[in-house]
Structure 1
Amino acid sequence: MQYRNGQRLPLEGLTARLSVNPRARRLSIRIDARAGEAVLIAPSERKLAEVVAFARTKTGWMRERLADRPQGTPIEPGALIDLFGQPTRLTATGGAGAARLTEDADGPLIASGGEGEAYARRVENLFKRVARETLQTRTDFHLRTLGQRPVKMSIADPKSRWGSCSPHNRSIRYSWRVVMAPPTVIDYLAAHEVAHLVHADHSPAYWAVVQRLIGDHRPHRKWLRDNGPALHAVGR
């Protein structure tokens, strides 16, 4: 069978995606918890058959890893979803009112109208509004620090990336889900993307710019690696 880069194939009850990485030194398997699939990595397309054969000997391990991935937290009344790293209760108000952030004696809460998907959509829209306001503020702050001109900023819901920067058209896109993280992590993401206006790669010179903006970035990168799958599972 001829395999190709990006191909998905069933593998004894699970889904595997084939990925060619010319920089890879060996065949390897990575679990993509966000997508719920195994990624089979080979240095070239002619090696894909070998990585598939290798993966067939590791199906038990892959099933265990996929079973351990975070389960989606539904966006529904009674759920707890973090906002700025703080558990925030979701409550229903009845009617069709928009979601609003408030607080009572037990802490922060989001009250919203709607039922089922309409309720979830209202709450998600609130998270997107908060994300836009917060990330715009931190983006502008880092732009001023670097003496950079304003950029076009947008909020989206990519499946895997937290942000992206296009220096050629001066645009930055963020995942709204990062607003569930602690403020220092949100600020790191803004600094990360703004720094790409100076260096488009991830070279030492690039990381030096990030360091200038926020100091030691490593704890924030680790936080996203460790907790990112859970944030991407919310509402899915």
Structure 2
Amino acid sequence: MKSSAPYRTGQRLPLEGGAQLRLSVNPRARRISIRIDARAGEAVAVAPSERRLSDAVTFARSKADWIAERLSARPSGTALVPGAVIPFRGGTAVLEATGGAGSARLVVGADGFRIVSGGEGEAFARRVVNLLKRLARETLTERTQVHLTTLGQAPVTLGINDPTSRWGSCSPMSRSIRYSWRVVMAPPAVLDYLAAHEVAHLVHADHSPAYWSVVHRLVGDHRPFRAWLRQHSGDLHAVGR
């Protein structure tokens, strides 16, 4: 039987002012909310069920001016080219070309971080991203294991990808955790919080007070870390665009 709901998850609608709205259902959501997907250049209306998507659309339309303002203020893309400066570990890293076809590598000096790489054009950018992914995997593997040990949890399967809307996800049934490689550009404490956030879902799959008490046990007050990700999400997603 087809759903009688007028809207469906994944549907896109135009808003007044030219903005685009994508509809999304998250059964774990407690209320209707609107977020800005800086990578896709659109707003996302989140509802706890498909039946509530009509309310989400109404709410989004009432916020059309705010959505347009947020989208217009999102950072422009940062190309991965020699001379570019990108966020890295809470600071910045300068990209440098070395000539030849060597892989990208991280150089730590008195003047900060540098990422030096061979290749030209897309090949240069690809080598830089591959390095960032490798560094993300190394660091997130380490911090995930620390939190698993603290909670007495068995090992998990860890993956690194580039999602558009989540920094991480956890599947307790399959004991797998996936992270966005872009979090390696955030301060180490924020990356550590993300690892704790996902590991805590092995204990509680929801975002109940019991769940947040587990997160607090691992990293203390989580609110500054969540606020940092909200504030700088656009900057991290702009890298390489």
| TM-score interval for Structure 1 and Structure 2 normalised by the shorter chain | 0.7 to 0.9
Instruction: Say whether 1:193 aligns with 2:201.
Output: no
Check whether the contact 2:38–2:237 (CA below 8 A) recurs between aligned residues.
no
Give, in angstroms, the shift of residue 3 of structure 1.
4.5
Residues 54, 110 of structure 1: alpha-carbon distance in 2 compared, 3 angstrom cutoff: closer
Q: SS of the residue aligned with 1:48?
A: helix
- Please name the residue that 1:218 is paired with: 223
- Please name the residue that 1:84 is paired with: 89
In structure 2, what is the Cα distance between the partners aligned to 1:59 and 1:173?
33
Instruction: Say whether 1:205 aligns with 2:210.
Output: yes
| Structure 1 stretches lacking a partner, 5+ long | none
Among 120, 124, 146, the residue aligned to 1:119 = 124
Q: SS of the residue aligned with 1:150?
A: coil
Check whether the contact 2:45–2:60 (CA below 8 A) recurs between aligned residues.
no
In structure 1, what is the Cα distance between the partners aligned to 2:60 and 2:152?
51
Instruction: Say whether 1:33 aligns with 2:35.
Output: no
In structure 1, what is the Cα distance between the partners aligned to 2:68 and 2:94?
33
- Please name the residue that 2:103 is paired with: 98
- Please name the residue that 1:4 is paired with: 7
In structure 1, what is the Cα distance between the partners aligned to 2:138 and 2:237?
20
Instruction: Say whether 1:48 aligns with 2:51.
Output: no
Give, in angstroms, the shift of residue 48 of structure 1.
3.3
What letter corresponds to residue 133 of structure 1 in structure 2?
A: E
Q: SS of the residue aligned with 1:213?
A: helix
Q: TM-score, normalised by structure 1?
A: 0.87
Check whether the contact 1:78–1:90 (CA below 8 A) recurs between aligned residues.
yes
Instruction: Say whether 1:180 aligns with 2:185.
Output: yes
Residues 189, 41 of structure 1: alpha-carbon distance in 2 compared, 3 angstrom cutoff: closer
Give, in angstroms, the shift of residue 218 of structure 1.
1.1
Give, in angstroms, the shift of residue 16 of structure 1.
2.2
Q: SS of the residue aligned with 1:209?
A: helix
Check whether the contact 2:80–2:240 (CA below 8 A) recurs between aligned residues.
yes
Q: SS of the residue aligned with 2:115?
A: strand
Residues 208, 114 of structure 1: alpha-carbon distance in 2 compared, 3 angstrom cutoff: same
In structure 1, what is the Cα distance between the partners aligned to 2:75 and 2:137?
26
In structure 1, what is the Cα distance between the partners aligned to 2:38 and 2:137?
26
Among 16, 22, 42, the residue aligned to 1:17 = 22
Give, in angstroms, the shift of residue 24 of structure 1.
7.6
Identity of aligned residues (%): 66
Give, in angstroms, the shift of residue 94 of structure 1.
1.1
Instruction: Say whether 1:136 aligns with 2:158.
Output: no
Q: SS of the residue aligned with 2:74?
A: coil
In structure 1, what is the Cα distance between the partners aligned to 2:216 and 2:183?
20
Give, in angstroms, the shift of residue 52 of structure 1.
6.0
Q: What CA RMSD, in Å, does the superposition of the two structures yield over aligned residues?
A: 2.7
In structure 2, what is the Cα distance between the partners aligned to 1:41 and 1:170?
26
Residues 53, 174 of structure 1: alpha-carbon distance in 2 compared, 3 angstrom cutoff: closer
In structure 1, what is the Cα distance between the partners aligned to 2:46 and 2:177?
29
In structure 2, what is the Cα distance between the partners aligned to 1:200 and 1:50?
24
Deviation per residue, 1:12-41 (Å, 9 max, x gap): 533222346797877x75433332113356
Deviation per residue, 1:71-130 (Å, 9 max, x gap): 121111111112211211000011111000113453220000111111111000000110
In structure 1, what is the Cα distance between the partners aligned to 2:38 and 2:199?
27
Q: SS of the residue aligned with 1:155?
A: strand
Deviation per residue, 1:40-63 (Å, 9 max, x gap): 5677658739946972x7655433
In structure 1, what is the Cα distance between the partners aligned to 2:115 and 2:91?
12
Q: SS of the residue aligned with 1:168?
A: coil
What letter corresponds to residue 4 of structure 1 in structure 2?
A: Y
Segment drifting more, 41-50 vs 219-228: 41-50
Q: SS of the residue aligned with 1:228?
A: helix
| Structure 2 stretches lacking a partner, 5+ long | none
In structure 2, what is the Cα distance between the partners aligned to 1:25 and 1:181?
28
What letter corresponds to residue 33 of structure 1 in structure 2?
A: A
